[in-house]
Every structure is written in structure tokens, then in C-alpha cells.
Structure 1
Amino acid sequence: MNAGSRRFRRAVPAALALALPLAALAACGGGGTTGATAEKGSGTGTITVWAHQGQESEATAMQNAVKSFNSSQDKIKAKLTLIPDNDYTKTITTTDASKLPDVMEFDGPTMANFVYNKKLAPMDDYVSSKTLANATDAIKAQGEIDGRHYGLGMFDSGLGIYGNKKLLDAAGVKYPTGVSDAWTAEEFTAAVKKLAAKDSDGKSLDLQENNGYATEWGTYGFAPIVWSAGGSLLENGKAEGGLDTPEVASALKTFQGWKKYTDSNTDGNAFAKGRVGLSWVGHWMYPTYSKALGKDLVVLPLPDFGNGSKTGQGSWQWGIGANTKNGKAAGAFLDALLNDTNVAAMTTANGAPPGTKSVLAKSELYKQGGPLQLFADQLAKPCGDSKIDKSCVAVTRPVSAGYPTVTAKFSQALSDIYGGTEPKTALEKAARAIDQDFSDNAGYQLP
């Protein structure tokens, strides 16, 4: 793993780090036909809590939240176990449901698979209505299945294009001010070419190639092209007819054409060092980029391929273990964990968009007029994982127990396309593989 990918893991474990090999997670789908429900219990005693051990500042914020909860009352004691990020999803997947904790964190896209395997229970009866109401719509979209909530997050994520104002101005490139006037795909390509013409090596764009594309970055980072072209990764349990459309193939042909202008970014510093004028990445790079560019940093939406500019969203969430004997105590802990103090501390630690309405409105980075207002504006128009039309912007990755197969096949297709494979061929292959897997697993029907 090179320095760039290490930095990626450290900077954004919350948004993208599906640490378990995805095919392995998919293979665990035995599923059942009835959902799991948690026992209410006494609402007192000791509860166990598992969390991923992300960057040091995140771990400290989590430890402080648990200490604060334990000292604030004497009925419930939360016992926290931090598990290394790279082992976390695998640990949940390989642990029998009966041995999982009362409360656990999980990477958002894995939720449906854990529900399918009866490892998570709905939390609606145990967390307060105030906690649910304060969650942003985008957070709820990621954590909801059939009207029941299985996950709530302290923070979210988002994508955009960072621009170097000095280089853009020098090349005579006009750029958007927000989602409403996002570049079209053609305008974005023209901007890339104009910048390249002024660059000594002809490279003007960073697409985080250093993270690889046959990875969760491939799906998270570039599924927005599919959605913006009017397509989908999965619709009504099928990829064919949504992923392999002519419009999606054309859009990814455009993506393929950017390769000649893209810095491979092996050192992770292509944008920060001024080698390129545009960087397609997420909120997590703001601290580094802001420090490097200062007032020359501009934050722009992703280009519009016809169905409106789109962004990914979703991150780590919290849920209640299906086999808990104390759902009432678990809910009380989650109410405390998701209060303003703890959400503000965690999002200050990791720089992510707050997952609650109250903290988001006051965030120095994301509030109206803040430097990252664009990300908040995008998340304020959630699509969920369906009904992806021009009126919405932030799209949830498919909430399906078969998501690991979806992302594995799509990201491989994306990587192949970037490497020169004809988009139509790669997309049709991916769609067939996804649909075959879903057929083999009875559509991964959730309880």
C-alpha cells in the first residue's frame, strides 16, 4: 500500500473502508424470511459496544463519549471495544449473531447484509423520536429498510471537485458557483483540456487514481457518473437495464477519455502541490487542500451528464445487535451518542459533514456561508437509493444485502473501462454477473 492509499484509509475510514473483501461478505448471505427483533430488557446494567478504531482523533472522541455517558447516570454502563479499521467488517461478518454486542458501528453499505443475516435489529422502539427526527434525511435514507431504521450515523460524506482558482483563472476557465450551475460533462471536459494546455506535462486532473478503481473508491467516487447519466447500479433488484444503458456507456466513455489528462497521483499530492488544477474527491481532503492552497481553493459540484449533478453519500452508522437482551439500554446509549456534544466532537475530529440537523446547522465548515456549504447543500437533496431524478443530488449506494456483489462487479468494470475496455462491453458483463448472483440468492430478499 503506497503512501497515498494509506492516507486515504486514514483520512476516510468512515466513508469508504469496506475492509472485508466484498465477495466474502456477499457469500455470507444465507438470509432468512423473518426479521430479527431485539429484546427490550430492563434498561439497566452493562451493555457492550463495538466501534471501529479509525484515526486517533476519532477514537479519542468515541472514548470520551462513552466516558461521558457512563458518568452521566448510574443505571447503564457501556463497555467499549475498539476494533482496528481493517479488521472491523470482517469481525462482524465472521462473528455469530449471538456473540455480537448490544450496540455496534458498521459501514453503511454493509447494513442490509447484516440485516439479511439477522445481525441487526430495528431501533425504532428504542431510540427516542427526537433522535430520529434530528437525523438528516440523507442519513436516514442510508439506514432505513421498509420504513424501519436499522442505522443512524454521527456523520455523512460527500463528493465534489476541488479547484485551484489561480490555475483556473490563468487558463480562462469559468467554473460553477454551486449545484444549480454545475458544469455539463462537456464543459468539464473542456475545462480539463484548457488547463492541460497550460500545463507542462499536459496533466490537469486528479481522479485519485492512487486508490485504485476496482475498490470501494471506484464505486463511491464514480457511481455518480452512472446516476447523473440517468442510470442506476441496481433497480428493483436488477442491474440490467439500469447499469448497461447507452447513456451510461456514453458517460463512462467520457470518463475514459479523461485518462490522458489525469495525473496518476502516486504520491497523493497532485493537487496540493499544484501539478493539477482539478481534483475529484471528497470532503476528507479539505484540511490538506485548504492548508496548501488557502484562498485559491474553490469547491465545485461534480459534472452533470444529463440527469443533474450527483454525489455519493453515506458513512459509518450505529445500530442495535439483533440478539441484545437490553434494547432499551442500547437505545438510551444511542440517544446520548447522537447528541449535539458528541456529534460535534466527532465531526470536529474527522472533518465529516455532521449527521444531525442541529449540529450541521452550526458547523463552521458546513453551515450556510461556510467553506464546505456545497456538501451540505448536496446532502440536503437526498435521492435515497431509488427515484434518482434531476430534483435530488445525494444518492445512497444500493441498500441491498447483495451490495457487495454490486460494488465488486461495478468497480471492476470501471477499472477495466479506465484501462481501455469498451464501456458497453464492461457494463454488460457487470450487469449480467450482478443479476446472476441475485438470481442465485433469490434476490437477497430482506425480511
Structure 2
Amino acid sequence: MKKGFKWVSLTLVLVMLALMVAACSTKESGNKAAEEPKKNVSLDFVWFSDGAEGDVMKGIIKEYETKNPNIKINLIEVAYKDLSTKLKTMISGGQPPALARISTTEIGAFSNSAVDLAEKLGGVDTFTSQFIDSLKPYYVVKNKVVAAPMDVTANGLIYNKTLFNKAGVKVPTSPDNVWTWDEFAAALKQVKEKGGAKYGLVWDFTPHRWSTLLYQYGGSMMDADGTKATINNDAGVAAVQYFKKLHDDGVMPTSVWFGGENPNNLFRSGEVAAHLAGNWMISNYKDVTNFEWGVTYMPKAKQRSSVPGGKFVMAFNKSGVEKESADFIQYLSSKEVNSKYNKDSLFMSPRKDSAKLDYAYGKEMFEVFANELANTAPAAAQDWSKQEIVPKFSTDLKNSIIEVVGGKTSAKDAMDKVAKIIDKAIADAKK
């Protein structure tokens, strides 16, 4: 009995040892699997630059690759004018890039090929809640997040401090006491008379910049759904009429909207009191030293408004690296990285929590533009996000405004004409 018991005990011990060895082996094997390096992945990133942002992005990519050694990001730099053609060629050839930097113009054209970032980055509401609301119509298409905002642009007012000071005219220093347009026009006349300005206000020769006045009057080019034209309603007509009045009263020179003179060059001459332009002119005018200049709040009509725009990053389906692309976009969209990108590039951040950045140049000026965006009418982005329609009538809108300013037609007749063109463009887009 004792001998048999010993054999049974020995057998049990051996079985237990075998199980322990097997368990240890399995655990070690599992640890080895967990420690195995991730699969190496390469992401092609089609990119264009307007200024120094390309170098800034290269630095961000280098940091990301250091943190993620299995990821290699290839920046494919192209001229902006070649961007659409490059992307169409890659997509139609069955080799879409992982990522691309795009503007508002390209979002609609490539949204069907885009990865729905909402599915990978926490849902539509969670993702979009990080960014200023006025941008949402640009990158949320059919309840899908087809791109992520990288920087934002706004229209605003740059003025010649030297001329204003000479005339004894003080500009608004708070959004709580902005001028009305009539008050602003009176101030510009005073700067011309007492400050020696040759011109009061120059305004970029584009429908986009002009539409700032349209939204301030409470108007829009189309209804919110983009189903019919609204530019010929009372607000649209009033905006065109006032634009004509600014020319008739000598506040604005006719040379920009009639003669094609460059408002940038005019302002640089030091003979212009103010320039209604985009925030990118802050870095453009950085080298102006023959007079002092700054940024103040735009006047208002029925309400305050600017017009938002910007650049975005899109990830593409069928690239084979959709998850890795979405992960990189999430990194780029974070407060820390997005703030660094915009601060170093002298851009404005689209993030709600990054309206005030510690810029090396123009910090206070950027904050004024950010405030203009925060007070922008929803109609602005609703209109300009419809890029399948807007390009089909924007030139006609510009030409019609010129005809009104020149006294060749009434504001009502001109906007009725544009409305018909818009309605046709809407109908054609549905075919």
C-alpha cells in the first residue's frame, strides 16, 4: 500500500510540474508576442504649402515617428494648383494616398473617397465639439466627418495706425463697442481729411471677401439646405447697395473693383487707411516698416460676421492604412500639436480651446480675428461649404456687383439675375 501510494504521489507531482512548465511556457510565449514590434507602416501624405507651414509639419512628423517607430510618413509636396489633379490621378489609379492636406474647395470633390473619421475617433459630436462651430458645414458631409480642421481663416480689418493717429481717430478696442458701417465710413473720411490718407478703404476683389458684408446684413447666397437662392432678398440687395454707397461716397477707390489694382500694394504704400482682408495678411504685412499698422474689429450692419475658411487633413479609403491614418489625424488634432502647428506657422487654430496662442508675432492681432470668427453667422459656412455649387456662380456674382457699383444696373435687378444662375447651378448639381 505504501509503495503504491508513493507511485501515485510521484505521478501527481510529475503531472503538476508538467502543468507548471506548460503554463510558464505559455506565459513566456504570450509575453514574447506582446513584446513583438508592431508591423512597419508607411503613410503617403500629399501636402502643399503657402508659407513656412511645410517645415513646421516636417518637425511634427519627425516627433510622431520617434514616438511611433513603426510608422513612416512620406510627405509628398505639390503645388496647390496641382493638388486636385494629383489626388484624382492617385485615386483613379487605385493607389490613393493615406492622407492629404486640402482646402475647403476640395472637400466636396473627394468626400466620397474619404475615411469617416467619426467612426474611428469617437463619433461626430465628440470629434466636432473640439472645433469652432462655424467650420462644421465644411467637413461634416452627410453626417460623416470626412476631414479634420488644421487651421482656420477669417476676414477682418487691418488699419494704418500712423494715419489714424495723425487724424486723431481712435479705433474700437473691444468687441463691445464696434462701429456701425456709417460710423466707420465717417471715421475713414476723417482719416482722409486730417490724416492725409489718399484712400479710405480697400477691399479684396473677391466674392468671398465681399460676402462679409452680405452676412453682416443678415443675408445669405442660398438657404441653409442649399435648395434655392436667397441672395436677392432684402438683405442681399441692401448689402450690394451699401457697397455701392462706399464707392459713391469716395470711401473706397474704384481702382480695385474696376481697374484690378492690387489692394495689398495700395495698403503697403502707406496711403490707405484700412484694408478688409484675410488674417493671412498679418504675416504678409510683417515686413512693412514705413508706417505702423494693426488690426481692429470690423464694423457691423445688422449683426457682426466674418467668413470662415481654412485647411484640413483628409484620410482616404482603400489606402490599406486607414486606422494608422486616423491615429495620426487624431494626433494632429490634439490641443498640444494643433496649437504648436498654428503658433509656429502664424496661423489661427480651429480648436475652441486654442483661440489665444503665444505667437512670436501678432498675438493681439490674431485674437481680434479669432473674435470675428466667434461672432460669425452660420450662413457663411453653410454657403461656402457648397463647393459643388458656388464656383458655378461666383464669377457672375462678382461681375454683377461691379455693374451695380458702376451704375449700369440696380442692386435688385443684379441680384435677381444672380439668383437665377444660382438656382440653375443647384438644379444641375442634383442631376
Which TM-score band applies after superposition, normalised by the shorter structure?
A: 0.7 to 0.9
Larger Rg, first or second structure (1 or 2): 2
SS in 2 for 1:305: coil
1:243 to 215, 218, 231: 231
1:144 to 132, 135, 140: 140
Q: State TM-score, norm by structure 1.
A: 0.74
CA distance in structure 2 between the aligned counterparts of 1:43 and 1:187, rounded to whole angstroms = 64
Query: Are 1:163 and 1:300, in contact at CA under 8 Å, matched by a contact in 2?
Result: yes
2:277 to 265, 281, 300: 281
SS in 2 for 1:311: coil
Corresponding letter in the other structure for 1:157:
T
1:424 paired with 2:412, answer: yes
The answer for the alignment partner of 1:226 in structure 2 is: 214
Residues 1:294 and 1:176: Cα distance change in structure 2 (over 3 Å): farther
SS in 1 for 2:355: helix
Structure 1 stretches of 4+ with a deviation exceeding 6 A read none
The answer for the alignment partner of 2:28 in structure 1 is: none
Whose helix fraction is larger, Structure 1's or Structure 2's? 2
Equivalent residue runs for 1:121-270 within 5 Å: 121-127=115-121, 132-198=128-194, 202-208=198-204, 213=205, 218-235=206-223, 236-240=225-229, 242-259=230-247, 260=250, 261-262=252-253, 264=256, 266=262, 268-270=264-266
Deviation at 1:439, TM superposition (A): 0.9
Deviation at 1:280, TM superposition (A): 0.9
Which stretch of the first structure deviates more once superposed, 324-333 or 401-410? 401-410
1:377 paired with 2:364, answer: no
Which stretch of the first structure deviates more once superposed, 167-176 or 314-323? 167-176
Residues 1:312 and 1:365: Cα distance change in structure 2 (over 3 Å): farther
1:410 to 379, 388, 397: 397
Query: Are 1:183 and 1:303, in contact at CA under 8 Å, matched by a contact in 2?
Result: yes
1:54 paired with 2:50, answer: yes
1:115-159 CA-to-partner distances (Å, cap 9, x unmatched) read 2xx222321122367865533334444322343311212211112
Residues 1:43 and 1:53: Cα distance change in structure 2 (over 3 Å): farther
Deviation at 1:427, TM superposition (A): 1.8
The answer for the alignment partner of 1:77 in structure 2 is: 72
Corresponding letter in the other structure for 2:175:
V
1:436 to 404, 410, 424: 424
Residues 1:52 and 1:74: Cα distance change in structure 2 (over 3 Å): same
Query: Are 2:108 and 2:386, in contact at CA under 8 Å, matched by a contact in 1?
Result: yes
SS in 2 for 1:427: helix
CA distance in structure 1 between the aligned counterparts of 2:39 and 2:138, rounded to whole angstroms = 27
The answer for the alignment partner of 1:354 in structure 2 is: 349
The CA RMSD over aligned residues, in Å, is 3.2
1:304 paired with 2:300, answer: yes
Corresponding letter in the other structure for 1:220:
H
Equivalenced residue count is 381
2:385 to 398, 404, 413: 398
Residues 1:144 and 1:408: Cα distance change in structure 2 (over 3 Å): farther
Unaligned runs of 5+ in 2: 1-37
Corresponding letter in the other structure for 1:363:
D
CA distance in structure 2 between the aligned counterparts of 1:71 and 1:285, rounded to whole angstroms = 35
Corresponding letter in the other structure for 1:405:
K
CA distance in structure 2 between the aligned counterparts of 1:435 and 1:252, rounded to whole angstroms = 19
Residues 1:383 and 1:294: Cα distance change in structure 2 (over 3 Å): farther
Deviation at 1:251, TM superposition (A): 2.0
Deviation at 1:294, TM superposition (A): 9.7
* Bigger relative contact order (CA 8 A; separation at least 6): 1
Which stretch of the first structure deviates more once superposed, 321-330 or 85-94? 85-94
Deviation at 1:278, TM superposition (A): 1.1
Corresponding letter in the other structure for 2:308:
Q
CA distance in structure 1 between the aligned counterparts of 2:240 and 2:295, rounded to whole angstroms = 23
SS in 1 for 2:159: strand
Query: Are 2:203 and 2:263, in contact at CA under 8 Å, matched by a contact in 1?
Result: no
CA distance in structure 1 between the aligned counterparts of 2:174 and 2:357, rounded to whole angstroms = 20
Residues 1:364 and 1:202: Cα distance change in structure 2 (over 3 Å): closer
Q: State TM-score, norm by structure 2.
A: 0.77
SS in 1 for 2:172: coil
Unaligned runs of 5+ in 1: 1-41, 389-393
Deviation at 1:376, TM superposition (A): 1.8
Query: Are 2:157 and 2:297, in contact at CA under 8 Å, matched by a contact in 1?
Result: yes
Deviation at 1:267, TM superposition (A): 7.6
SS in 1 for 2:280: helix
Query: Are 2:153 and 2:279, in contact at CA under 8 Å, matched by a contact in 1?
Result: yes
SS in 2 for 1:303: coil
CA distance in structure 2 between the aligned counterparts of 1:77 and 1:202, rounded to whole angstroms = 55
CA distance in structure 1 between the aligned counterparts of 2:277 and 2:263, rounded to whole angstroms = 15
Query: Are 2:115 and 2:316, in contact at CA under 8 Å, matched by a contact in 1?
Result: yes
CA distance in structure 2 between the aligned counterparts of 1:407 and 1:66, rounded to whole angstroms = 37
